[in-house]
Chains A and B, each alone.
Chain A
């Protein structure tokens, strides 16, 4: 089965600084890849997804992610972080043929310093 690793449990960045959250996946073929954000006490919200085509995908709230097949990675980036971006971020992977087997990483908690 596919799996997802988010190497960073917690990241702290200053407001206005750039951000990159790492995600590595293990899967035999090209999977479908997702990033979700969870604000405290809330459910997860879809930020962006990659199915095929252009390896740089744009999402909501100014986020983007790049799929790199050679590195089995799907890192999330934002050029300038806002205080409201403080949240938990989850990377997820699903086989291209099975919507039921979406696996989530353990999450990365983002703290934004003023």
Chain B
């Protein structure tokens, strides 16, 4: 089934440690996104990428970095985790043709707990 694969499904991470959340899509979508979901706040955009080789900052980028070496992969890295980064992280992708807006396809999420 075509879609987005996120790994790991869940993780407990010690504060100060680094971690990379993986995201792979097989739909050849140009645009990819990382969101965090927190109770009562909905989803907030961390970083995005319109196409391979380019990235941009979203609403809450501090403490996170991304790379987009190819179309399919969009890893999210926490360089030094803090407890406030405890959240559920969703990767998403969408078609992109010019400035047209499309709906997103989401992965199943990574539940991260920083202790």
A residues lining the B interface (CB < 8 Å): 4, 9, 32, 34, 36, 41-46, 49, 51, 90, 94-102, 104-107
**Per-residue interface assignment for chain B, residues 43 to 60, with 1 indicating a CB less than 8 Å from any chain A CB and 0 otherwise:** 111001010000010100
The stretch that binds A, out of B13-21, B63-71, B73-81, B100-108, is B100-108
B99 touches A90 (CB 8 A): no
Q: List 5 A-B contacts (CB under 8 A).
A: A4-B42, A36-B104, A44-B43, A99-B31, A107-B42
Q: Which residue of B has the minimal Cβ distance to A34?
A: B103
Give the contacting residue for A104; candidates B43, B50, B99; CB below 8 A.
B43
Q: Which residue of A has the minimal Cβ distance to B106?
A: A43
Give the contacting residue for B45; candidates A41, A51, A96, A102; CB below 8 A.
A102
Q: Which residue of B has the minimal Cβ distance to A46?
A: B103
Give the contacting residue for A43; candidates B44, B48, B94, B108; CB below 8 A.
B108
CA distance A90 to B90 in the complex (A): 14
Q: Which residue of B has the minimal Cβ distance to A96?
A: B101
CA distance A98 to B107 in the complex (A): 22
B37 to chain A, nearest CB (A): 9
Give the contacting residue for B99; candidates A46, A98, A102; CB below 8 A.
A98
A99 touches B108 (CB 8 A): no
CA distance A94 to B102 in the complex (A): 9
